Chains A and B, each alone.
Chain A
Amino acid sequence: MKFAALIAFIVLPAAPTAAQIDLTGTWARSGQSDNVNAVEPVDLLGIPVNEDGRVKALSYDIAALSATERQCQMYPPFYAISGPFPLEISMVREPVTQKLLAWKIAGWGDRDETIIWMDGRPHPSKYAPHPHGGFTTGTWEGDTLTSVTTHFKLGDIKRHRGFSSDRATFTMRFNRHGDILTVTGILEDPVYLAEPYVLTEVFRLTTNPNGFPLTACETIEELPRLHEDPTIAPHYLPGQHPAMNEVTDKYNIPLEAVLGGPETMYPEFRKRLEDRYVLPPPVGGGN
């Protein structure tokens, strides 16, 4: 029997199969794009927000995160790309058959874990609860893993700038090239985005986790004024964000671009800036 099986193994032609590549390990982000940057509070450059998304972003006061009820509010799954920490990916096996049941992307202190179910289960009803990490399924397309996440909570998508709603969908493509993993993230949101928001991040396999483990969150008194008066809800009224012109002042980039929108992410938008943009002084004020 074994003899026959061995012969069959040798002579049968190779079958094209949806191969499953191994993604396990800790992947350190290159961090060479501005995905993680959060210097100026109003910066929607290249983010395809719609009018509601812009209003939401401009009303946001980061002090809101210090309110007791928001301190343990996590970032949405999109933060896997726009956040600063490595991706720690492991397998979850079906206990009896040992088949791959799911991929798990470990959580960080402020991003819940993502379980990518690979067993073909459907996404739940739109009325189902929305946990921080959402609900994610995955499929193989060739040797690329594609995951789709739904059912996550409202949250900010680029370090306190734009927001996604609880009706958003987040797709990730995992392309592995040796020890390089490129993740292309596509966020779609009928509430706050006019077009899909696409970001990429490049990761390298590493033996140094250097992460920020997910632990139980405990609230503390961060801003005394919020604890002394729990009726305060930090926000800015329309047109009153104090940092509205910060990017324009610092980089000479017109406010029209700073306020984002789908048109700002296409090359032809440069034509609207060409006659208005003046190169700002060098960093550090030199020549």
Chain B
Amino acid sequence: MSRASGTIVSAVGAIALGFAAQAHAQRGGGPAAPPPSPRAAAPIDVTGYWVSIVTQDWRWRMVTPRKGDYEGIPLTPEGRAVADAWDPAEDEAAGEQCRSYGAPASMYVPGRIHVTWEGDRTLKVETDAGMQTRLLRFGETAPPPDTPRTWQGFSIAEWQTPRPNVPLLLRPAERTADAPPVVPTGGSLRVVTTNLRAGYLRKNGVPYSENAVLTEYWDVYERPNGEELLTITTIVEDPQYLRTPRLVAPVFKKEPNGAKWDPTPCSSTW
């Protein structure tokens, strides 16, 4: 390192330390202020009533598809064998009629969802179809030991601002040294769900295993006419039953209230 550059580095370091010390002093020298809660820090608003818009995969979602129809889902041979053995009456008799309402499928089931904050660190997602409840927990890293497996599993949520692993494209004016660093606005909700009970991706017994990992990205879009859309990019990874991840993106439209909320229990046959 040359003497000139060494001087610059030293000076910059000193200035940076000075600013840090100044900031610390401005806070009165006490402990750092806690970061805002996930609720306060939300870059997008996903709360409210949302209705499914079923414009794709209609015959696999709006009615129970025929047995053996797993078109579009990259099943392993073992997955196909399980799907071919589907017996809805047996599921119903065993009290397993919620198999197609688990988290990897529940946002794809036609219906309405109601999203609310439960405290400042948990988003609650209720479905009217199947009457399921998902809890999206911020600040968690793993389910506590001995947490029982459930249809909705254990979901860990985080805001993504900016989205990681996305290269930024900076304009020349933003590359100059006197320009402030660019911080993207907007954001997304990332949810990773594990600890699932084995269930169905599709009503006709197309399976996912209890070791499946569900990753979702929730993105909200307010259209110029005020209408709000929610796209949930859904990635299901399950080496036991899927050759490649399941990749779909169901869409919801925001509704002004819960007037059309229609709780309906799980069904294996309809």
Contacts and interface: CB of A to CB of B under 8 A. Distances in A.
Interface in A1-35: 2-22, 30-35
B72 A15 contact: no
B219 A267 contact: no
A12 B180 contact: yes
A284 interface: yes
Given A18-B185, A182-B219, A267 B231 contact: no
B15 to A, nearest CB: 6
Contacts, number: 241
A273 B62 contact: yes
Given A34-B72, A182-B249, A202-B248, A143 B67 contact: no
Contact of B66 (A10, A200, A202, A251): A251
B98 interface: no
B74 interface: yes
B251 A277 contact: no
Interface string A180-220: 10101010000000000111111010000000000000000
B182 A251 contact: no
B197 interface: no
A131 interface: no
Contact of B60 (A7, A34, A269): A34
B162 A173 contact: no
Interface stretch (A58-66, A70-78, A97-105): A97-105
B68 A20 contact: no
B177 A2 contact: yes
A8 B54 CA distance: 52
B165 A178 contact: yes
B177 A9 contact: yes
Interface stretch (B24-32, B34-42, B132-140, B166-174): B166-174
The DSSP consensus for interface residues of chain B is: loop
B104 interface: no
A184 B55 CA distance: 12
The contact size tier of chain B is: 35 or more
A190 to B, nearest CB: 14
B181 A15 contact: yes
B11 interface: yes
Interface residues of A, number: 81
A237 interface: no
A175 interface: yes
Contact of B178 (A5, A270, A283): A5
Given A10-B12, A100-B169, A177-B233, A184 B251 contact: yes
Contacts of A239: none
Contacts of B174: 17
Contact of A204 (B185, B229, B247): B247
A12 B185 CA distance: 18
Contacts of B12: 6-7, 10
Contact of A200 (B11, B56, B223): B56
Contact of A32 (B170, B246, B262): B246
Contact of A30 (B51, B58, B64, B247): B247
Given A16-B185, A32-B246, A286-B84, A268 B73 contact: no
Given A33-B72, A266-B110, 16 more contacts: A16-B183, A16-B185, A19-B168, A32-B247, A32-B248, A48-B55, A142-B43, A175-B219, A175-B233, A180-B235, A265-B54, A265-B58, A266-B54, A279-B67, A280-B66, A282-B68
The 3 closest A-B pairs by CB, nearest first: A142-B186, A19-B184, A283-B68
10 contacts: A2-B177, A4-B178, A18-B185, A19-B184, A22-B166, A46-B62, A143-B184, A265-B58, A267-B110, A277-B64
